[in-house]
Chain A
Amino acid sequence: MSKLNITVNGQIHHLDVPESRTLAQVLRYDLGLTGTKIGCEEAECGICTVLVNGTPVNSCIFPAFKAQGREVQTVEGLAHDGELHPIQQNFIEHGAVQCGFCTPGLMMTATALLNENPDPDDHAIKVALKDTYCRCTGYASVIAAIKSAASEMRGEGPLPVNEPDVSEPMHAISRSVPPQYVREKVTGAAKYTDDYCFDGMLFARTLRAAYPHARILSINTEKAKSLPGVVAVLTHADVPGENLHGLVYRDWPVLCGDVVRYIGDAVAIVAAETEDIAAEALKLIEVEYEPLLVVGDPKFAHSPEAPVLHPNHPTGNLLKHIKVRHGDIEQGFAQADYIVEREYRTPTVEHAFLEPECSIGIPPGVEGHEKLTILVGSQIPYQDRNQIALALGLPEEKVRVIGTLIGGGFGGKEDITGQIHVAMLAQATGRPVKMLYTRQESLAVHPKRHATIIRMKTGATKDGKLVAVEAELYGDGGAYASLSDKVMTRATTHATGPYVVPNAKIDCYAMYTNNPPSGAFRGFGVTQSAFAVESNMDMLAEMIGIDPIEFRRINAQKVGTTTATGQVLRESVGLLETLSHVEHDMVTSDGDFRWAWRDGHKAYAWGLACAYKNTGLGGGAPDRAEAEVEAFEDGSVEVRVASADMGQGLAHVVAQCTAEELKLPYNRVRVLLCDTDLTPNGGPTTASRQTFVSGNAARVTSALLREALTRSAAEFLDVPPETLYYEEGLLRHNGKSVELGQLVGWMKANGLSSKVRHEYHAPATQPLGTGGDMHFAFSYATQAALVEVDMETGAVKVLKIIAGTDIGRAINPLMLQGQVEGGIVMAMGNCLTESYIVENGIPWTNLLSRYKMPSIKHAPEIISHLIEDRVSTGPYGAKGVGEICSINTSPAICNAIYHATGVRIFSLPVDQDALLRAIRAGQTEVYTAWHDVR
């Protein structure tokens, strides 16, 4: 221990801390300033940024004693006496906060910028924020917020918010209200799982497999157990219940005892007094392995030589064969004048949510918890509880899962990571136990987006009508099933694209391999098939000699269309409208529109693509969510659902639905999310379903509460109930009125409940193959991308994206626009920068520094149109938005690259090296991607 004298946010501290501390550790652990977040500890993500003597530094690699005698400024120092700093205020106003995990870093970097440059332009902002990442927003709102803050700080007042146009705004619906918890997120007060600490808390670590595929011969934990400070070391033998978990198939061991199937498999877990001791203990656990043949890719997995990874699975390594049969493809292709058939490849993609996984287990009787309690930022709290209970051999009622704020999920926080492990360790030690994954562990462990190989054959007539699609997809499911079945089903059923295709035969093979598992990822398989669909569409258009927009218009799904799964679309098919909005901005409003042009060694071109994506689970799965709404004597209302808000904004959606039904001011509605004891089940936060199902649950339940309130108010005021109306927290009858709070008091006094719980059931769907409604709604999108290709280097830049997105109803227009912008930039990563590389089961991508996601410097200009083609069963007409905005960006960019260069890309992410070599060699097709450079 040594003396560290530092001033933090104006306050002088004389601390006694180890010299080994980083500045981030001193701030978070020694000073409890948990507003500074840790995302990677590699100096890559920048979210740990604080100012040292006014200069932004990455506190995760900044030795604390380097700050000796200096002044440190953190996010907690921005607001003064409860008054937000203009940067904080403008981040809120401009919708620049989604999950909020990056927000402190972005704001501190921005603070330093504005101290130096009171009037930064886009370029200056991009330079300053280049290595401070945000995975949610797409950066447009961040740039707007910083410019507006600068203007305000110069005394020129804030700048107008770029709010999208929407139709028929209501009382609270279609209003850009601020998201829930946003004030906490900009002040650093927001608590994510790692920000919680409890007395006597232990720290846990996991021993991972040493091989991607091996038999475990023995595990010896004696040495680890005897290390001072180690409190528990557990293995498969200590799993009290069933040693398995899994969302669809229960095939994933809690702790491996016989075989390891991927490098992220857990073999043993340790709880110790400190993280360092826990890490040290891992090195002392002795495991003997017999390495087995590694199944490194899905095609090998399908071959007879491949070892069978899950002997109990009835179809061997074939996790699932998914089929779509529609019409007669032989007849279809016989009618075709033009046929395109190509093979496409998409890589494994990592969510790279900025908050690594963290779970805390608290044993019963500790910290006032009656039950075994797990704190975790999870997308599916009730299924977590179910899986924890089964593994611990406990009834579900004995387990409570409390959802904390989530620093991004995107599908990557649906599967179990540390939840069961901390439950076991808490149970075994009788103390609270925290397990925080390092970024590197997070990269190795959680399921990713499926790598796919897609062969797609599309036929059309010479007058531009699609007649048949035949496709074969291979999906790398990795070591465990996770959500492969569902994800690959979506890839398959959407493989015709949003078009009328009378004949289709599509086969998808989801395979087990020894790679990290694949599961849910924004887009849910449709991202992959859309790349193939929309590239083939452009190729066909060119062969036929028809404009790509016109070709899509001719074939677009409309009301009355029958999809390839046999569903008749009865309403809310906004594709044509998205297409015409995009066409208007791209073509009509530009006097001399050209698809492509040159300027020196730069080639510029537009490309376009369409997409559709189901809302909800579909396929016959019962899709429901329950909500509870309670009114209080202070005139406030709380709405409770166990649905997750990982930054996408579910919390404000349910609050807005409740505020709407009760005609309450939005700020009178509180939201309680994700507590299996206090909030009813909202089902998984996946499949773009929560606005629809939990939004509907909040809407219907609030309406039921309104009926109860109306009845009481009628009695209280002695007027007929039909004559009552709601206004700003009052129930009125001409002349007479009662305040909501007063009414609740009266109800309580009269033994009446002001709480309603109701389960909403979404419209029924049918399983694939039965021909009925597979889904209750689809969202539609068109995107056009303007790219610049440096013809001397092959470097590709996206300059502009025009997006038309049909989401039924924009419940919160500004935050919805944030979803669209964030989805687009994330999809640009899928197209241009991201590939999670695995070499025969061993991830090369073991560091964040090896995985580049789009930074602010990649952020294009985004013009977004929200199209509101209402779906009658949606809440106020809304359908899903989370995924639809992230699907067609990649093919739009690749179509643009083709127009610019004459070279078509068949494998992602685009490799500038191969692109340039193709340009030089006069080749027109590139079948290799970045990861093929070897």
Chain B
Amino acid sequence: MKLWNHYHTPHSIDQALALLNQYQGKAKVVAGGTDLIVELREGHHPIQEALIDVTQIPELTRLTTTDNEIYVGAGITHSEIVKSAVLAARATCLVESCGVIGGPQVRNVGTLGGNVAHALPAGDGTTSLVALDAEAEIVMNGQRRVVPILEMFRGPGQSLIDSTRDVIIGFRFALCGDNEATAFKRIMRPQGVALPILGCATWVRLNPAQTHFEVARLSITPLGPTPGRAAEVEDVLIGQPATDITIEHAIETALQILKPRTSKYRATGDYRKEMIAVLLRRTLQLAVQRARTGQAIPEGIGME
């Protein structure tokens, strides 16, 4: 079955915008197509007049480090993220989350931009970008803008941007420095769709003596219609000793305030609660250990 009529591969953002403009809502941006083309085939969208492939635009395919910051083009594939030594060492959670998306064939074409634009409540790449407190560079309504990652989501499957008109250019975030580290883990079920029961990315900064949590960012998904941070749980950690006891306090708080839902053929709310505890414990312990040792080797790539 034909799913689109024309296929364009612009080489600049301006060209891409011009093409989108030309098709007046009847064309969509495509990157790896691992969400879009599958959904087109399932009939979720009408046949597109054109697909605008953004993966040949230099700004979208750049991965550059400046000082303590990194820029990841929206068209960077999950495989490229997994192969990046800088990301593995200093944004480990992103590598761990992009490393478990699909299989190699999907990771070889699927992009971080596509993961964010798809706006699922528990997209794996997205979960880690939230913990990394990333910013997205976008062109929206013809205007270039930089927005905090959490502003990119409007609802389940609903992005701030309209991919018949707008383009995500890339993401920027601070790389982990001394006493900082991240970790990501998720729980899948062996049955049904490839959406995690629960995903959890944590970012921690210890004090210079490495005895206490200084700052923490926790991204647990799905807990609502859009990705979000567990701010009250983060508060429990801040300033407290970086020990298992503190982590257990944080988990207690999480279990009191977070209300995961039951979703059909995925998980019961009760099970998700159990998994919040398990994943917070596992990722926080791992992140603390990584922050202390300054060593981070991504876990679970390609298998979890």
Contact = CB atoms under 8 A, between A and B. Distances in A.
A127 B271 contact: no
Contacts of B34: 43, 61
A849 B193 contact: yes
B193 A131 contact: no
A58 interface: yes
Contacts of B303: 123, 126-127, 130, 857
A833 interface: yes
Nearest to A913: B271
Interface string B37-70: 1100110000000010101000000000000000
B34 to A, nearest CB: 6
A65 interface: yes
A58 B192 contact: no
A559 B120 CA distance: 61
Interface residues of A, number: 57
A56 B104 contact: yes
Interface string A895-934: 0000000000000010011001100100000000011011
Given A63-B7, A844-B265, A916 B274 contact: yes
B189 A275 contact: no
B256 interface: no
The 3 closest A-B pairs by CB, nearest first: A131-B103, A127-B302, A913-B271
Interface in A127-180: 127-128, 130-132
Contact of B38 (A61, A844, A917): A61
A761 interface: no
A849 B51 CA distance: 24
Interface in A530-578: none
A852 interface: yes
Interface in A92-118: 109, 112
Interface stretch (B105-113, B163-171, B176-184, B238-246): B105-113
B118 interface: no
A66 to B, nearest CB: 6
B122 to A, nearest CB: 16
B38 A127 contact: no
Given A20-B5, A793-B275, A835-B191, A130 B30 contact: no
A743 to B, nearest CB: 54
A442 interface: no
A220 interface: no
Given A20-B4, A56-B105, A930 B267 contact: no
Contacts of A756: none
Contacts of A190: none
A401 interface: no
A66 B4 CA distance: 13
Interface in A479-526: none
A726 interface: no
Given A41-B41, A131-B106, A20 B2 contact: yes
Contacts of A934: 262, 264-265
Interface of B: 1-7, 9, 30, 33-34, 37-38, 41-42, 51, 53, 55, 79, 102-106, 108-109, 187, 189-194, 197, 262, 264-268, 270-271, 274-275, 278, 301-303
B199 to A, nearest CB: 13
Given A130-B302, A913-B271, 4 more contacts: A130-B104, A276-B1, A794-B271, A909-B191
Nearest to A276: B2
Nearest to B107: A131
Contacts of B194: 849
Contacts of A844: 265
B1 A63 contact: no
A834 B191 contact: yes
Contacts of A833: 190-191
A109 B190 CA distance: 22
Given A65-B7, A793-B278, A42 B41 contact: yes
A4 B109 CA distance: 20
A131 B104 contact: yes
Contacts of A858: 190
A62 interface: yes
Given A130-B302, A909-B191, A66 B264 contact: no
B6 A19 contact: yes
Contacts of A68: 9
A57 B103 contact: no
Given A42-B38, A63-B37, A849-B194, A912 B109 contact: no
B197 to A, nearest CB: 8
Given A49-B105, A131-B102, A63 B53 contact: yes
B298 to A, nearest CB: 12
B278 A128 contact: no
Contact of A917 (B7, B271, B301): B271
A850 B259 CA distance: 26
A15 B222 CA distance: 46
Interface string A48-83: 010000011110011111101000000000000000
Given A41-B41, A63-B53, A276-B1, A58 B265 contact: no
Contact of B102 (A43, A126, A128, A847): A43
A18 interface: yes
B265 A57 contact: no
Interface in A825-873: 832-835, 837, 844, 847, 849-850, 852, 857-858
Contacts of A793: 187, 274-275, 278
A20 B7 CA distance: 7
A792 interface: yes
A46 interface: yes
Contacts of A799: none
Nearest to A48: B105
Contact of B9 (A49, A66, A920): A66
Contacts of B274: 792-793, 916-917, 920
9 contacts: A20-B2, A55-B79, A57-B109, A58-B106, A62-B33, A64-B7, A109-B104, A837-B265, A930-B192
B109 A62 contact: yes
Contacts of A909: 190-191
